[in-house]
Amino acid sequence: MAMKKTYRLAMICLFLLMALFILLAGRWTMIKIQHYKAYKQTENSMVLKIGKDKLTIEAGSDVSLYDAIHASGGTLSASGSINTSKPGSYPVVYALRAMDKYGREILKKRSVIFTVEDTTAPVITLKTDQLQIAQGADFDPSGNVSSIMDTVDGSIAKDKWQITSQVNTSQPGSYPVMIEAADTSGNSASASYTVTVVTPAADEHPYLVRVNRAANTVTVYAKDDAGNYSLPYKAFLCSTGPDTPLGSYTTFGQSRWRSLFDNASGQYVTDIVDDILFHSVPYTAESPDTLEYDEYNKLGSEASLGCVRLQAANAKWIYDNCPLGTTVEFYDDADNPGPFGKPDLAKIDTISPNRGWDPTDPDPDNPWNK
């Protein structure tokens, strides 16, 4: 009898334990379902979409990593960068984070690749589309180009331009000039202008000389039919200095050689005003093989005390072709060196055995000419 009671009690306990287990399992299942629903509800409210039309970017554009993404329902972050100045492919990973009501982090990620493309042609800026020059002028068609700029490459160097010119400065008339340039991505641009070659009016002072102190260039102008010095004729590199004046003056003296400051000498000297002269780059003696070649290599920049230094051939041209009484104007315009631009300078190799000679000197003994 006692065994039956014990058995019955054991069965009751077992039943109660099973009931408790079923109750707890049901409760646990309900909690899991609630957590799952909360997770999915939060996850479903998170939006992370990519604007595919914005994954290709034009080089040079001002863009943000977030321009191509639409996100809501969480906190967005991005890892990666885009260099819009350099065409190429740029991977970026976006992460959207949120917390459900039970404090669990939910993360959505998207990896995308941005492509930077350069499809924009360079911009060619001309000083004018109609240029008049004097018959016989030293014409450089690149001088009328203010700049050629590209979004990616920046300023395109002159040796990358293609210039087609039919200008014959010995024959009056109108001539076309075409400028073409391409960037490193193959985008090309072109621009054209017209050059009119005009016979200058006869005059005892056929030229006006203008010195741009800021650009260290000299431009020579001839007269048009109306008697105005409007026809560009020649352009020279020069070196001016802190005492180079502004204003208009007339030349009053010339000499083949002249003593300069610091025991130096200059060739083909023309007096402009007071002690301000046109002359060659200095020599250490009155001999054409004693050139201060380091000073020659400074042409195109400020280097003198105040005189206008020139290559020997250019100083000689003024000496030979600009009679006393020629007007010389000094002005400043750093952005515009003149209608023929800023001439190039082939610098002297300082270890060359010819370095004591100005390469442009017409002297028959000049070794550069042999």
* pLDDT tens digit sequence for 6-25: 766 766 666 667 766 666 65
- Number of H helices and E strands in the chain, helices first, is 3, 22
Q: Is the pLDDT of residue 177 over 80?
A: yes
pLDDT at res. 64: 87
Q: Amino acid letter at 80?
A: G
What the block records as the tokens of 210 is 């203008």
What is the percent of the chain where pLDDT is above 90? 70
Read off the pLDDT of each residue in 270-278 and give the average, rounded to a whole number: 96
Backbone angles phi, psi at 105, to 5 degrees: -80, 135
Contacts of 83 (CB under 8 A, 6+ apart): 90, 116
Fold of 48-117: Immunoglobulin-like (2.60.40)
Which of 239, 229, 218, 223 has the alpha carbon at shortest distance from 296? 239
**DSSP code, position 244:** P
What the block records as the tokens of 46 is 């998170």
CATH topology match: 48-117 vs 121-199: yes
Q: Is the pLDDT of residue 147 over 70?
A: yes
**Three-state secondary structure call for residue 352:** coil
Q: List residues bridging with 94 in a β-sheet.
A: 78, 110
Would the pTM count as exceeding 0.85?
no
Which of 77, 187, 176 has the alpha carbon at shortest distance from 126? 176
pLDDT tens profile 49-68: 888 878 899 998 888 888 88
Spell out the domain ranges in the chain.
Answer: 48-117, 121-199, 204-370
Backbone angles phi, psi at 10, to 5 degrees: -65, -40
Which of 115, 123, 228 has the alpha carbon at shortest distance from 179? 123
Contacts of 173 (CB under 8 A, 6+ apart): 196, 197
Q: Is the pLDDT of residue 304 over 70?
A: yes
Which of 344, 335, 134 has the alpha carbon at shortest distance from 234? 134
Contacts of 215 (CB under 8 A, 6+ apart): 333, 334, 336, 337, 338, 342
Q: What is the CATH number of domain 121-199?
A: 2.60.40.10
Q: What is the CATH number of domain 204-370?
A: 2.40.440.10
Q: Where are the beta strands (DSSP E) in 260-333?
A: 265-273, 276-280, 308-310, 327-331
